[in-house]
Amino acid sequence: MKIRANTEKAWKSGRIVHQRGYINHIMKALIILTLLTIPLLTSGCTTNNKEDSITVLAAASLTEAFQELSHDFEAKYHIKVEPDFAGSNTLAIDIEHGAYADVYASADKKYMTALIKQGYVNKSVAFTRNKLVLVVPKANPANITSVTDLRRNVKLVIANRGVPVGIYTRKALLNLDSIYGNGFSNQVLSHVVSDGIDVKGVLTKVVMDEADAGFVYSSDAVTANGKVKVIELPENGGGVFPKYYIGILTGSKNKKDAQKFINFVLSPEGKKILKKYGFEAEK
């Protein structure tokens, strides 16, 4: 109250009159800016429903391959593709909580099955498969040449047990127990220094030379552009072949183009791109 009284006094005495025009300008600018944001806000809530575009939610490991696929698809059909990448499970949670999309591509059957059960997806098709590999930084500071070197005290990064690649890593290590003896997997897991939030989280730590080794998909190793060395696991990836599933969301408003996109992924052209990024043909 005291401040207000003082201000009013100052105002009446003319002391701050000269400031008035200046303040008015700022207020006007603020109000105009506010008004300008309203259409932005409302349009922000309703994008992606356009007839000639589709939104594709894809597993983080598909990032580079699907970027190229989308690009080629756009060039061929003149249908805009808006891809969004994250862990398959994060995307599934997004979909369950109302995220709008036309296509979902999962790195694991589990999340696709869950979405089908809940009615978010009608049917899905396996379109490619991946392989688990060990990667080390190009300089290979811990001098790792085989998965058995993980018995030594190295800095290992694996993915969180919630994401598919984390589940596959643990499964593959358990499989390797049959070759290297019981306790191998436990010994290796005791050298884990960090849990990657997703497969890219694991790869980054190896690319940046902070970790000595990490388990990623062969497709991710390809995207690292020679910054990592790939060490194949025995039994072709520890006997683990993650299959990738793709399906149209029931909430899609553009199922026709979504189907076109899936057909494109399954076409020889699509398979060629997937192969280029380290994915194998689904057998």
Partner 1 sequence: MKLFAAIYTIAGVIVAVFIFFPIVSVVINAFHAPPALLLSHDTVAAIKLSLITATVSTLIIFILGTPLAYYLARNDSAFSRALDLLLGLEMVLPPAVAGIALLAAFGRTGILGRYLAVFGITLPFTTAAVVIAQTFVALPLYVNPVRAGYASINRNLEGAAFTLGASELYTFLKISFPLARNATLAGAIMSWSRAMGEFGATIMFAGNFVGRTQTMPLAVYSALQVSFNKAMVVAAVLILISFVILIAFGAISKRNSKRSDLNA
Q: Note whether 102 binds partner 1 by CB under 8 A.
A: no
Q: Is 189 exposed, middle or buried (0-12, 13-18, 19+ CB in 10 A)?
A: middle
- Residue (10 or 93) nearer to partner 1, CB: 93
**Torsional sign, CA 36, 41, 44, 50:** negative
| Contact stretch for partner 1 (CB under 8 A) within 67-75, 125-133, 209-217, 237-245 | 209-217
Per the structure block, which two tokens stand in for 182?
């019981």
The minimum distance between CB 208 and partner 1, in angstroms, equals 6
- Contacting range for partner 1; rule: CB under 8 A; set: 161-169, 224-232, 234-242, 265-273: 161-169
Which tokens is 63 given?
A: 């990032």
Order of all β-strands in the sheet with 80-86: 80-86, 53-59, 103-106, 243-249, 121-129
What is the gyration radius of the CA atoms in the chain, in angstroms? Answer: 26
What part of residues 139-158 is at the interface with partner 1 (CB under 8 A)? 141, 155, 157
The nearer residue to partner 1, 114 or 116, going by C-beta atoms, is 114
Residues 6+ away with beta carbon under 8 Å from 209: 137, 139, 141
- How many chain residues interact with partner 1 (CB under 8 A)? 26
Sole window of 120-128, 195-203, 245-253, 256-264 interacting with partner 1 (rule: CB under 8 A): 195-203
Q: Which residues bind partner 1 (CB under 8 A)?
A: 87, 89-90, 93, 96, 141, 155, 157, 160-163, 166, 192-198, 201, 205, 208-211
